[in-house]
Amino acid sequence: MNAIHWMASAMLAAKVKLEVAADNLANASSDGFHKHVARTSAGPDGLATSTALSSERGATRYTGRTMDLALLGGGTFSVAPGRNAKLAQPTRTGAFMCDREGYVVDQQGRTLIGKDGNLVRLPHAMPIEPDGTWRDGGRIVARLALPAGTTVRSGFLEGSNVNAIGEMIDVIDAQRAFETAQKTLSALDEARSKAANEVGRFK
């Protein structure tokens, strides 16, 4: 692999890292957001940046709202857009409310799905038990599917796990890496063109 292709791959790797850091930074105040971690490695095709979702949990904060839920541990809430459980989407954002029909919905209007695969519907807003169960007079109304070791708290929300200062540093580092690779690529291309012209002159 020649130096020009190597610098081109370095520019692309820096661009991906910059995009990841910028997206993380933009979501630093988004409840339930988990950052992506970018890792750059060298291979036969040059430099490449891969991304992985961080499993680190964000800090929880007290809101006092009964239908605000925070997961203490792994897992996600499952929500359905358009009340179609077949289109279930995972989320860590636990800001829910009961709509006029009693369905538990998030701020985007997606309906919470229970352990049985059905949409969660409550007779009224009520606190959830740590094991993910809603009870009304001792009767189980609905239950969430929680992985082993995970509990849920009513009246709390999980914040973003993004460190804004760290992401800002990553943005600056990625920008500098891109600019350095770009300048080096331009210098290499100019040197190659000059060498080609010199060879042509001697011929």
The domain spans of the chain are 3-54+161-202, 60-158
pLDDT at 4: 79
**Per-residue model confidence as pLDDT tens digits over 161-195:** 999 999 999 999 999 998 998 888 888 877 777 76
- Say whether pLDDT at 203 is over 70: no
- Model pLDDT, residue 195: 64
Show contacts of 180-188: CB within 8 Å, 24+ apart: 181/7, 181/8, 181/10, 181/11, 181/14, 182/7, 182/11, 184/7, 185/4, 185/7, 185/8, 185/11, 188/3, 188/4, 188/7
Share of the chain above pLDDT 70, in %: 95
Predicted pLDDT at 137: 87
With both helix axes pointing from N to C terminus, report the angle between 164-202 and 3-26 in degrees, rounded to the nearest 10: 160
How far apart (Å, rounded) are the C-alpha atoms in residues 103 and 115? 15
Q: Find the Cα–Cα–Cα–Cα dihedral 65, 67, 71, 77, rounded to 10°.
A: -150
Q: Which amino acid is at 104?
A: V
pLDDT (tens digit, 9 = 90+) per residue, 1-39?
A: 678 788 888 889 999 999 999 999 999 999 999 999 999
Q: Which candidate, 12, 1, 2, places its Cα nearest to that of 181?
A: 12
Residue 95: how many CB atoms within 10 A of its CB?
A: 18
Determine the residue type at 184: T
What are 74-106's pLDDT values in tens digits?
999 999 998 899 999 999 999 999 999 999 999
pTM given for the model: 0.80
Q: How far is residue 80 from each of residues 98, 115, 125, 202, measured CA to CA in Å?
A: 15, 13, 19, 72
Q: 3-54+161-202 in CATH: which number? A: 1.10.287
Residue 202 in this model has a pLDDT that exceeds 60: no
At 138, the pLDDT band (50, 70, 90 cuts) reads confident
